[in-house]
Amino acid sequence: MTRSILSAVAASLAAAGAFAVQAPAAQAHPVPALIAQAPKSLAIRAKNSIVGTWKVSYDGGVHNTFTQWHKDGTAIQVADFAPKTGNNVIVGDWSKNKDGSVSTFLVAWIWDDKGKKLINYFTKSETDTVVSADAYSGTFEVIYYDLQGNIVFQHDGTLSATRIAAQ
């Protein structure tokens, strides 16, 4: 019975076009297309506002994230790590500093290469300065911990970001 109900719902949705899927056009790199395709309603242009969605490059492109800063002081990053390792989703909070920069503190879990066993976690602290409506730069520190809280790796670096929004 459940199977027939699910089949009927799927058929109805398919008939209504809810499952229309189109293959994306071949592109050398998807980020410029994302920037060009972002709807104008997503463009937050307030002077020195970090709120919005950004492509962030760490250490000159060694790693990248899509970072979304929310006006309620929360932030989320999706990093270019394999999803099964867990450290591709990074969450945290941010606040504006007296000098106009922003500070954020983020955390993420780390799983083994098969995505089956939790092995570590890391924290990332950033201090960022919006340099224009469409760019910010800053510094960061990443600290990896074992599950007992012992530091196993630490790294400091620089970052730069470009807003993802229509011009």
- pTM of the predicted model, to two decimals? 0.70
Domain ranges, ordered by start, for the chain:
30-163
CATH of domain 30-163: 2.40.128.30
* Torsion angles phi and psi, residue 64, rounded to 5: -135, 155
Tokens of 100: 């106009």
pLDDT tens, position by position, 144-160: 999 999 999 999 999 99
Question: Could you tell me which of 146, 93, 138, 101 has the C-alpha nearest to residue 119?
Answer: 146
The CA distances from residue 59 to 65, 72, 109, 112, 139, in Å, are 12, 28, 21, 24, 9
* Torsion angles phi and psi, residue 85, rounded to 5: -80, -10
Task: Tell whether the model's pLDDT for residue 79 goes beyond 50.
Answer: yes
**What's the mean pLDDT when you consider all of the chain?**
78
Confidence of residue 143 (pLDDT cuts 50, 70, 90): very high
State the pLDDT at residue 46.
56
